[in-house]
């Protein structure tokens, strides 16, 4: 049996949509339902559900053999994992966003301080970073920051709060990650699963 770490939320919904489009009905029936269970088993695959930032930790430790995670998470922090493949779903991007008339950025609020730091460093732009865990859109509205660095998918949350994108930083995709040891010790089982879900042909 192999263990696959998933995160419930936007990326999980994209994964379900992808499976539906590819007629992976045996997985959909087990995964697509309201449940508080922290894991489910389908044939020879155990799916565990974790917070997005925790998925690489489970994979790194060997608790999970594979994980599906946004590239934002493995770009923001360093993990000792195999970054196996880009997946054909979960597309969005990082942007600098602010009120429409904002002209310069000296203070940025973000959950992703490492990504923001690298971006502004490469631009040779000196900014102060404020780390927030959620609702970063509040920061420029309340005068805490000039702008934010955050993930944008449809832009609806920005528009609802009167913010606009000023600069695009990078694209984000879903990634398949693997434990460095079990990727080889469970090679056949892992190969069968990733072939089944269409990562390889």
Q: What is the CATH number of the domain that holds 47?
A: 3.40.190.10
| Residue 201 forms part of a structural domain | no
Reported as a single tens digit per residue, the pLDDT across 27-44 is: 888 887 666 678 888 889
Q: Which pTM was predicted?
A: 0.90
Residues 121 and 186 in one domain: no
Reported as a single tens digit per residue, the pLDDT across 9-29 is: 889 999 999 988 988 888 888
Residues 8 and 78 in one domain: yes
Residues 114 and 149 in one domain: yes
The domain of 98 spans 92-171
Q: What is the domain count for the chain?
A: 2
Residues 72 and 165 in one domain: no
CA 173 – CA 10 distance, rounded (Å): 12
Confidence band for 200, pLDDT divided at 50, 70 and 90: low
């Amino acid at each position: 049996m192999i263990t696959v770490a998933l995160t419930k939320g936007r990326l999980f919904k994209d994964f379900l949509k992808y499976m539906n489009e590819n007629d992976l009905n045996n997985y959909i029936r087990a995964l697509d339902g309201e449940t508080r269970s922290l894991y489910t088993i389908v044939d020879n695959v155990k799916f565990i559900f974790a917070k997005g930032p925790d998925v690489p930790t489970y994979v790194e430790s060997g608790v999970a053999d594979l994980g599906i995670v946004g590239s934002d998470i493995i770009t923001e922090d360093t993990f000792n994992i195999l970054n196996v493949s880009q997946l054909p779903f979960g597309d969005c991007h990082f942007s600098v966003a602010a009120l429409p008339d904002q002209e310069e950025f000296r203070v940025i609020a973000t959950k992703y301080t490492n990504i923001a730091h690298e971006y502004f460093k490469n631009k040779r732009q000196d900014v102060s970073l404020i780390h927030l865990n959620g609702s970063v859109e509040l920061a420029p509205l309340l005068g805490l920051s000039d702008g934010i660095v955050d993930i944008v998918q449809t832009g609806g949350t920005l528009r609802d709060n009167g913010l606009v994108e000023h600069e695009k930083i990078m694209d984000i995709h879903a990634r398949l990650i693997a434990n460095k040891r079990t990727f080889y010790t469970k090679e056949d089982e892992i190969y069968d699963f990733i072939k089944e879900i269409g990562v390889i042909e």
